[in-house]
Chain A
Amino acid sequence: DAGITQSPRHKVTETGTPVTLRCHQTENHRYMYWYRQDPGHGLRLIHYSYGVKDTDKGEVSDGYSVSRSKTEDFLLTLESATSSQTSVYFCAISEGQEGFRQFFGPGTRLTVL
């Protein structure tokens, strides 16, 4: 199994508070991704990174920011959490070569009250 961890695994917070989720990898893969998963919507890409300090937006990036200061860590921040951001968040990594496959972390369940 690919070495990907996410922290925290569960979090309950209140509307308006900042939240940061962490994804850590030990595979030295170039690409890292943040997805959210909601019933009926599958997996939707929030942001992704193709190298240290290189990031780009996905299809549902509003209300989220990311940072990658080291190859192994990719942080997702909700500046001011809203109830619509209640979801399960998955991090994924990829080598980024042709025919790349993505390996997913265990997920973080976030509840915004």
Chain B
Amino acid sequence: QQPVQSPQAVILREGEDAVINCSSSKALYSVHWYRQKHGEAPVFLMILLKGGEQKGHDKISASFNEKKQQSSLYLTASQLSYSGTYFCGTEGAAGNKLTFGGGTRVLVKP
């Protein structure tokens, strides 16, 4: 079953913060985060493994709560380049394949 992402869309001003949530109904082994710019392919941001620590990529970080089967992506001091659609991909016990959420559209304005 597809993980649920929220919010579906968010508009930010440069420098503002945002949180994107990803929730699954199944037990998870890992959570991946990808960003897709319009007309381009998704690009890997980070992966959070079961039992692992919070990850960071510049001012974008993420956490993974295994018990709640949830992950959150934190956009801190957003930049114009952060605009795009963010997808979480969840990996269950079967491994090596992901189920992606519906995406969160982020628009950062000057």
Contacts and interface: CB of A to CB of B under 8 A. Distances in A.
B41 A96 contact: no
B33 to A, nearest CB: 10
Contacts of B43: 104
Given A42-B87, A98-B49, A102-B32, A107 B100 contact: no
A94 interface: yes
Contacts of B61: none
Contacts of B101: 42
Interface stretch (A15-23, A43-51, A68-76): A43-51
Contacts of B30: 99
A31 to B, nearest CB: 6
B93 to A, nearest CB: 13
B96 A99 contact: no
A102 B102 CA distance: 17
A64 interface: no
A110 B44 CA distance: 24
Given A41-B102, A42-B103, A43-B87, A100 B96 contact: yes
Interface string A21-49: 00000000001010100001111110010
Interface residues of A, number: 26
A102 B44 contact: yes
A104 B98 contact: no
Interface in A63-101: 90, 94, 96, 98-101
A98 B29 CA distance: 10
A58 interface: yes
A105 B41 contact: yes
A101 B47 contact: yes
Those 5 A-B pairs whose CB atoms lie nearest each other, nearest first: A104-B41, A43-B100, A42-B100, A42-B102, A101-B44
Interface of A: 31, 33, 35, 40-45, 48, 50, 58-59, 90, 94, 96, 98-107
25 contacts: A31-B96, A35-B100, A40-B102, A42-B2, A42-B101, A42-B103, A43-B42, A43-B87, A45-B97, A45-B98, A48-B96, A48-B97, A50-B96, A90-B42, A98-B49, A99-B30, A99-B47, A99-B49, A100-B96, A101-B32, A101-B47, A102-B44, A102-B98, A104-B41, A104-B43
